[in-house]
């Protein structure tokens, strides 16, 4: 009898511990067209990285209703802002440069609203690639519409190598979230032709490449972290990349 009591107690506690550990991560979506149908989807690599880190992924579709966006944010513990096409420069008050690529006004408006509302609730956010750019814009920063505009010796940031292999190194600031995951320097992949120009207020740069391009940022007060590369694509080839997601989920629990 006493054994059953202990067994029940143990089951109850372990169930609660597991329930505590599962961080619900809202992952943003990309738009695409399948024949005549407009679709939304997210990358399987993001889902797998969150699952491997012990989180529970849910997809957050793009929509244009403020009440729904607020409810999406309220219903999750954290946000993962994924990669994708360029941000429309009108969101940082610039005219379109010749090199500006494809953009989606609706996706930009949605993600900016999502990020700004999540910030008011102090929900943790991890931004990846386009994610770092849209986070910077959501807080008043600007982008180089093409990395070539950042200087004379800018290297190639749109690699021809496979996604799961790196192309350039980054130098990482001490005591930053990224040093915790990757150490002082690391080789990363690169699939961006735009990058941060003017950094939004209350953010700091935590990693750069040798040509000075911003490769990671974090907020000074809020739980917001972002990288310009694609760690989710390298989790299987470079185990340290999974640390970025593991550490993110751990910080979400604090």
| Residues annotated as catalytic (active site), given as ranges | 129, 230, 232
Which of 123/192 has CB closer to Mn ion? 192
| 100-108, 148-156, 185-193, 235-243 -> range binding Mn ion (CB under 5 A) | 185-193
* Closest CB to Mn ion: residue number: 190
Which of 122/184 has CB closer to Mn ion? 184
Query: What mask, x for binding Mn ion by CB under 5 A, covers residues 202 to 231?
Result: ------------------------------
Count of residues engaged in binding Mn ion, rule: CB under 5 A: 2
CA proximity to 111, closest of 93, 86, 94: 86
Check: CB of residue 22 under 8 Å from CB of residue 55: yes
- Where does 127-216 have alpha helices with state H? 130-138, 177-182
CA proximity to 58, closest of 50, 66, 67, 70: 50
Exposed e or buried b for every residue in 189-215, given b needs 16+ CB within 10 A? bbbbbbbbbebbeebeebbbbebebbb
Which of 75/185 has CB closer to Mn ion? 185
| 98-106, 158-166, 183-191, 217-225 -> range binding Mn ion (CB under 5 A) | 183-191
| 52-60, 153-161, 219-227, 235-243 -> range binding Mn ion (CB under 5 A) | 153-161
Q: Pick the binder of Mn ion from 107, 123, 130, 157 (CB under 5 A).
A: 157
Which of 107/157 has CB closer to Mn ion? 157
CA proximity to 202, closest of 149, 127, 138, 250: 138
Shortest distance, position 135 Cβ to Mn ion, whole Å: 16
Shortest distance, position 163 Cβ to Mn ion, whole Å: 13
Helix (H) or strand (E) holding 224: strand 224-227
- For 47-116, the three-class secondary structure string (H helix, E strand, C coil) is HHHHHHCCCEEEEECCCCCHHHHHHHHHHCCEEEECCCCECCHHHHCCCCCCCCCCECHHHHHHHHHHHH
Helix (H) or strand (E) holding 244: helix 240-252
Q: Pick the binder of Mn ion from 145, 190, 194, 242 (CB under 5 A).
A: 190
| 39-47, 90-98, 111-119, 182-190 -> range binding Mn ion (CB under 5 A) | 182-190
- Distance from chain centroid for Cα 117: 16
Shortest distance, position 213 Cβ to Mn ion, whole Å: 6
Q: Which residues bind Mn ion (CB under 5 A)?
A: 157, 190
């Amino acid at each position: 009898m006493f054994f059953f009591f202990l067994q029940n107690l143990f089951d109850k506690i372990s169930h609660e511990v597991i329930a505590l550990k599962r961080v619900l991560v809202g992952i943003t979506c990309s738009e695409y067209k399948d024949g005549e149908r407009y679709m939304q989807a997210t990358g399987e690599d993001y889902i797998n990285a969150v699952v491997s880190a012990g989180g529970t992924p849910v997809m957050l579709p793009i929509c244009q209703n403020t009440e729904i966006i607020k409810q999406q944010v309220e219903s999750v513990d954290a946000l993962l802002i994924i990669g994708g096409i360029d941000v429309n420069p009108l969101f940082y008050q610039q005219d379109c440069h010749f090199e500006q690529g494809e953009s989606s006004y609706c996706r930009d408006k949605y993600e900016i609203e999502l990020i700004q509302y999540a910030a008011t609730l102090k929900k943790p956010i991890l931004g990846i690639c386009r994610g770092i750019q849209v986070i910077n814009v959501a807080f008043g920063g600007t982008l180089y519409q093409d990395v070539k505009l950042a200087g004379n010796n800018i290297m190639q940031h749109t690699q021809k190598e496979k996604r799961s292999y790196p192309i350039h190194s980054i130098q990482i600031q001490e005591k930053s979230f990224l040093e915790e995951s990757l150490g002082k320097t690391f080789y990363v992949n690169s699939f961006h032709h735009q990058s941060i120009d003017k950094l939004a207020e209350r953010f700091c740069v935590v990693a750069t490449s040798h040509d000075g391009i911003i490769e990671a940022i974090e907020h000074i007060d809020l739980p917001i972290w972002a990288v310009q590369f694609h760690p989710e694509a390298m989790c299987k080839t470079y185990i340290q990349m999974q640390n970025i997601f593991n550490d993110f989920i751990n910080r979400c629990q604090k």
